[in-house]
Structure 1
Amino acid sequence: MSAGAPPADPLENPFWHALAGPQVAFARLGPRAGRYLPGVSPMGALEADTPESWTDLEALTAPGEVVAVFWPDVLDPPVSWSHQGGGNAVQMVQRRAQPPLSAPAGLVLRELGPQDVPQMLDLVRLTRPGPFRERTVELGLYLGLWDDSAPEGSRLAAMTGQRARTRNACEVSAVCTHPAYRRRGLARTLVSQVAARTAEAGLQPFLHVSQDNLAALETYRSLGFLPSRRLSINVLRRDAGES
């Protein structure tokens, strides 16, 4: 890829193709950049690594706000932005469809909605699977495994759902399991369910996972996901006082 040029494959830049495509209703969008509404997700996107795209992203972002941009390489932003962190993600695409797994004994599979957001946010705070906000659940299908016999009442034991959606593919995201329910294959069950329903809708399932999370990489391989590429996660703050 030449310097500044847009990535050729939509999945090299999935959030741009989601924001400028099927998920435009959840976007603040300029001609060459976009970001999700703040209550939906902190993810942002550039069409290309050019001054014009950065100008558009800046116009969509308030001073002090943070956005996360996936890109094939580490970005070198203009002086009005500063790096706040990041890392490297492996993008995996499901090449072999798998039948969905059944819920383990004692747990109930249910679709999640706005009424479940408080428990979803509690689980995210406990497990830190990645960015998830009050309206993230509106982006697609989210499924949870519930323990209806928990002493405090029905407890959300694990969840997974759909985040970025392009014209032909949909991301499996927010894979998290409550510590009390780990080592029971709950993440594997939920990813298989969401991936199967994604494929039934005519979309190719894909996901992102830290390159250091070897256990998750192996789990996703067992579900037919194969590594496609590495992407740099650029967590960027628009610095106050710049224009």
Structure 2
Amino acid sequence: MTGQKTSADPLENPFWYALTGPQAMFARTEEHAARYLPGVSPLGALEADTPESWRDLAALTAPGGVVALLRPDLLEAPAGWTRTAGDNAVQMVQLQAQAPFAVPAGFTVRELSPQDVPQMLELARLTRPGPFQERTIELGLYLGLWDEAAQGGPRLAAMTGQRARTRGACEISAVCTHPDYRKRGLARTLVSQVAARTVESGLRPFLHVGQNNVAALETYRGLGFLPSRSMWINVLRREAEQT
């Protein structure tokens, strides 16, 4: 693999700069493409939309395998690939640090650990915040809000954490609240807490949200996040090779 390329703004292609930079230990790479290790995330990246990059992505993806690419453009997949999904998102960046919101009464916040992964996977299954797998927690700090008075013991009511990390910035991801706990400001609280810790570590927080998710867009604006650019989520399957 070549050395990390420079760019006026790495957030134009954040997963390329994460996978070929601070998160290289979680990556499988070829010269012009990269993707997270199995179990960490199905996300990958092209250095650019070129035949060389697609060739290298194919080398990293088994026939029938799926990869998700987050880019400013809706990709025209070349022969050998089938688009299974595509959606438009807004990238938002927190330009000025904000004080974190206090934890609501009746809940506690704590850093999530590998022993919490089963509850995290179940919460992600219920809320579908985007790709989340058993090793995603290894990418950064994840915080959970727990209902301490829940029947049967403490219950994970909401979570969020850090995913892509570039030089100078860190993505906030997996923002989800259990359906039983919505409309209580739990996601806002957790995003504010993770953003504050991200700033404390010397990184600028950014995130991605569906362009039609008006409620989330307004929540993030209230936390100091401003739209940076439009992004496309491209989910692609490599076609099985003909015999």
Question: 1:86: how far off?
Answer: 1.5
CA contact (8 A) 1:71 1:233 kept: yes
CA contact (8 A) 1:7 1:48 kept: no
With 13-22 and 145-154 compared, the bigger mean Cα shift is at 145-154
Displacement of 1:242 in angstroms is: 5.8
Partners of 1:97 and 1:74 lie apart in 2 by: 32
1:91–1:228: 8 Å Cα contact kept in structure 2?
Answer: yes
User: Is 1:170 the counterpart of 2:170 in the alignment?
Assistant: yes
* TM-fit CA distance, 1:203: 0.4
Cα distance in structure 2, aligned partners of 1:27 and 1:69: 14
For 2:210 and 2:7, locate their aligned partners in 1 and report how far apart those are by CA, in whole Å: 21
TM-superposed deviation, 1:202: 0.6
| Structure 2 residue runs without a partner (length 5+) | 1-5
Number of aligned residues: 238
The 8 Å contact of residues 74 and 232 in structure 2, kept in 1 or not, is answered as yes
Residue 241 of structure 1 aligns to which amino acid in structure 2?
E
Q: TM-score, normalised by structure 2?
A: 0.96
Root mean square deviation of aligned Cα: 1.3
AA aligned to 2:56 is D
| Aligned-partner residue type, residue 76 of structure 2 | D
Aligned to 1:110: 110
- Whether the 8 Å contact between 1:80 and 1:242 is mirrored in structure 2 is no
Assess, with a 3 A threshold, how the Cα gap between structure 1 residues 91 and 195 changes in structure 2: closer, same or farther: same
How far has the Cα of 1:9 moved from its partner? 2.0
| 2:23 is equivalent to residue 23 of structure 1 | yes
Alignment check: 8 A CA contact 1:171 1:205 kept:
yes
Report the Cα distance in structure 2 between the residues aligned to 1:102 and 1:210, rounded to whole angstroms.
26
- Cα distance in 2, alignment partners of residues 178 and 168 from structure 1: 31
Letter of the 2:29 counterpart: L
Identity %: 73
Alignment partner of 2:57: what SS?
helix
1:143-187: per-residue Cα shift (whole Å, max 9, x none)?
000012111211000000000000110000000001111111000
1:10 matched residue in structure 2:
10
Q: TM-score of the superposition, structure 1-length normalised?
A: 0.96
Q: What residue in structure 2 maps to residue 3 of structure 1?
A: none
For 2:225, the aligned partner's letter is: F
Looking at structure 1, the residues matched to 242 and 206 of structure 2 have their Cα atoms a distance apart, in angstroms, of: 37
**Which 4+ stretches in 1 moved above 6 angstroms?**
none
Structural mapping, 1:90-105, within 5 Å = 90-105=90-105
